[in-house]
Structure 1
Amino acid sequence: MRINVSTDYAIRTLLFAGAHPSRLVTVKEVAELQLISENHLMKIVWILSKLGFLHTVRGRGGGFKLAKPATLIKVGEVVLQFEKMMHSTDAEQSYMGGYAIPYVMDKAYSLFIDSLQSSTLEDLLRIESQKNDEVEVFETFSS
């Protein structure tokens, strides 16, 4: 399964902000570290702000941070805002598979969304932290 670039950037931006909860982060900082176009990232930050995921501060010394705790940001909410996912509840029964295929796809869609809704930004931050700890341990042993 693939997500679009905007969804990827949105999640990475939220993760970066969540990893630095005690300060404002800047578009420039995230763009440079994540190798994302600043112009594209500014649009993503604007959307995330309008959706209530980020709090932004304009002007000199400005930036953005999470608008609510990472434990309250569901990955599914972010994905649903950025992805144009479609599923069909209309069963066209005039051809073979016209009922079965939409039924199975609707069921898969529901399971997919339920799985995303059960994951929070905090869960993703924890996974990233564990990955970084493993890399540090590996680097220590290989030195």
Structure 2
Amino acid sequence: MKLTKHTDYALRILMYAALQPEGQLLSIQEVTDTYDLSRNHVMKIVQKLGHEGYLKTLRGKGGGFTLGKPPEAINLGELVLCMETTMKVVECEQPMCRISPGCELKGVLAEAVAAFMAVLNRYSLADLIGNRKELIKLLAIA
């Protein structure tokens, strides 16, 4: 199972926001500079995270974004499901696989995805920033 860059960046953005002093507004530029990411990608991800309530966004001059929920309220499994367009490991229908009607692989892979999600569901954003001091130093957060 491989997560898309979209989900990877969403996790990084949320971690960065969670490490900031409460209520401090962040800018797209600050995130792109910190992680060396595409501005376009970050803008799309912040917009989606804002729409889903993970971030609070404020548009216009002096705007920015901040965490929309406490870190312990952001479940990693739910976040991944929100950000990923599909959780399929393989595509059996496009093109249609000849052995699909009798294939046992689909069931094994579905079980693997369920196990992957079960692990993610046990964790929150707060768990990802448990080493807060080290992360703040690595990200050069004032």
TM-score where L is the length of structure 1: 0.78
Higher helix share: 1
Report if aligned partners of 2:129, 2:135 keep a CA contact under 8 Å in 1: no
Q: Give 2:87's aligned residue.
A: 85
CA distance in 2, matches of 1:49, 1:112: 26
Point out the more displaced range, 46-55 or 95-104: 95-104
User: Identity of aligned pairs, percent?
Assistant: 37
Report if aligned partners of 1:53, 1:68 keep a CA contact under 8 Å in 2: yes
CA distance in 1, matches of 2:135, 2:38: 25
Structure 2, unaligned runs of 5 or more = 91-97
Q: Do structure 1's residue 124 and structure 2's residue 128 form an aligned pair?
A: yes
Residues 1:87 and 1:30: Cα distance change in structure 2 (over 3 Å): closer
CA distance in 1, matches of 2:19, 2:111: 34
SS at match of 2:57: strand
TM-score where L is the length of structure 2: 0.78
Runs of 4 or more consecutive aligned structure 1 residues displaced over 6 Å after TM superposition: none
Residues 1:40 and 1:110: Cα distance change in structure 2 (over 3 Å): same
Look up the equivalent residue of 2:8 and give its one-letter code.
D
Point out the more displaced range, 23-32 or 53-62: 53-62
Where does 1:4-15 land on structure 2 (aligned, <5 Å)? 4-15=4-15
CA distance in 1, matches of 2:5, 2:112: 23
Question: How many residues align structurally?
Answer: 130
CA deviation vs aligned residue, 1:76-123 (integer Å, no higher than 9, x gap): 1121122221279xxxxx969935322222211111111111110000
CA distance in 1, matches of 2:13, 2:100: 45
RMSD: 2.8
Report if aligned partners of 1:21, 1:66 keep a CA contact under 8 Å in 2: no
Larger Rg: 1
